[in-house]
Structure 1
Amino acid sequence: MKRAIPVVVLSIAGLVPVWRYTPSTPVTTPSASSSSGSSSGTGVKGPTVNTSKGPVQVQVTFDGDRITAVKMLQQPNHPQTTAAVPKLVAETLKAQSADIDTVSGATITSDAYKKSLQAAIDSNHANSKSSASSSGSASSDDSGQTVSGPTVNTSKGPVQVQVTFDGDEITAVKMLQQPNHPQTTAAVPKLVAETLKAQSADIDTVSGATITSDAYKKSLQAAIDSNHANSKSSASSSGSASSDDSGQTVSGPTVNTSKGPVQVQVTFDGDEITAVKMLQQPNHPQTTAAVPKLVAETLKAQSADIDTVSGATITSDAYKKSLQAAIDEEG
């Protein structure tokens, strides 16, 4: 009987570490957090960041701009990572950003976590801005006009904007195409905000996203020019209609160029040129920008003896030929 006592004691003692170990095995803090916030928030997946330890990817749940949950979609199967994740998630929820400390002993995982997290935050921010822009565009549909800029191809991917105008005022900018890249995602809201503030494409390049910024500004400028040309064309059309009783409309010949056909329609009141309208023109940013200048110069000079627009020499020359022929026909 005395020999049985130590055996029983050892058996009970052996159960103690097993009992203590069980609760610490599952690391479920992120999942629990995600579940608690997913019902009222938006889930955004960050990109997969490959490391020497394995891939890292997070999914973040937002309520507006507030981070309500973070869940690991991919993480290295490593004790340090398992121990680090709850700390990273807790710090994220506290800081409400990716500006958190690296967990000691899990530097690689921490850095990858923060990269994936930051991209998800940037994506949510861009989506919020895009929604705001879309709302602004919808609200101005009755009094505004939506113009799509051309697609600008870059080494990172295509960039294209859609701009909503109320007259000459830019009321909204929406991205139709953009590179799937963290820097681009972070840059777009800044570019849109600067555009609405400056009311032009004369804005600063976003640091770290130079290629996208330059392409954005090109597409934006073309949309602005197109809206400006459309406004001028509408004004010219109005002028033409108002002078129909006492004037005459003459179409110049089509002048074919390497950029495309060019043809003008000129309205006269006696010998006075009262309006010029483009019947055909190349679908090109330089042409779109040049036409309002050519028309304005024509109305000022009252002739085809006007300067060529820099950067649109071919279109300018063709415009003047079609214009001169219309003037000659009227004369």
Structure 2
Amino acid sequence: MRRSPIVLTATAAGLAAVLHFKAHEPALPTASASAGQSPAAAATPAPSNSAGAKVATGDSIPTRYGNAQVRVTVSGGKITKVEALQLQGNDPKSVQISSSAEPLLRQSALTKQTAAIDAVSGATITSASYEASLQSALDKLGFKAADGSRGSSTIPDVEEHDHGPFG
């Protein structure tokens, strides 16, 4: 019975520590059309740079977990760069899912040379909104995939996170 006060004190101290713990959300880079330029300027493709590359920012696609928006660079008739300007991040789980899915989505777009990209399992809404923004950016540039494919995702309306067996 001598250990009871020690155990109770340690339990209370541990409980207090857990209740005061504040997790920090990983930061995803975000940008919006209003950051330094008007929405009309963001919708207009950037002029060709010295290397002949054309850049366009896709539409910001709203979802229940936040917006998705990408910027694409096309050079020599090929997609050479895709950057996520915004990804879902209304809560820590969405941030985790989006940051895990983004490299796979980017690689799919660069490999396939189209917005008709492979969806990432467990990140359905992130995949669909990324694809929709990418297609809008490619449309602004007048880019057509060699095989004629186009991104055609619709954003699913789900009750819980769209995040498959891992969500």
| TM-score, normalisation: structure 2 | 0.56
For residues 295 and 275 of structure 1, the distance between their equivalents in structure 2, rounded to whole angstroms, comes to 8
Which position in structure 2 is the counterpart of 1:298?
Answer: 109
- Tell me which of 50, 64, 85 is aligned to 1:279: 85
**Cα distance in 1 for residues equivalent to 2:72 and 2:20:** 36
- Distance in 1, Cα, partners of 2:109 & 2:65: 22
Provide the rounded CA distance (Å) in 2 between the counterparts of 1:255 and 1:267: 19
Look up the match of 2:42: none
Unaligned stretches of 5+ residues in structure 1? 1-50, 58-111, 120-155, 161-175, 178-218, 230-242
Match of 1:307 in 2: 118
2:55 alignment partner, one of 244, 249, 257? 249
TM-score of the aligned structures, taking structure 1 as reference length: 0.30
Q: Percent identity of the aligned residues?
A: 33
Structure 1 residue runs of 4+, over 6 Å off? none
RCO higher in structure (CA 8 A, sep ≥6): 2
- For residues 10-25 of structure 1, the aligned pairs below 5 Å read none
CA distance in structure 1 between the partners assigned to 2:85 and 2:121 by the alignment: 22
Larger of the two Rg values belongs to structure: 1
Q: How many residue pairs get matched? A: 113
Q: CA deviation at 1:271?
A: 2.0
CA deviation string 1:108-163 (max 9, x = no partner): xxxx6xxx7xx9xxxxxxxxxxxxxxxxxxxxxxxxxxxxxxxxxxxx94798xxx
The residue identity in structure 2 corresponding to 1:326 is A
SS in 2 for 1:300: helix
Structure with higher strand content: 1
Which whole-Å deviations, capped at 9, do the CAs of 1:166-208 have from their partners, x for residues lacking one?
xxxxxxxxxx75xxxxxxxxxxxxxxxxxxxxxxxxxxxxxxx
Amino acid of the structure 2 residue aligned with 1:288? S
Change (3 A) 1:158 1:312: farther
Residues 322, 54 of structure 1: alpha-carbon distance in 2 compared, 3 angstrom cutoff: closer
Cα drift, residue 250 of structure 1: 0.3
Structure with bigger helix share is: 1
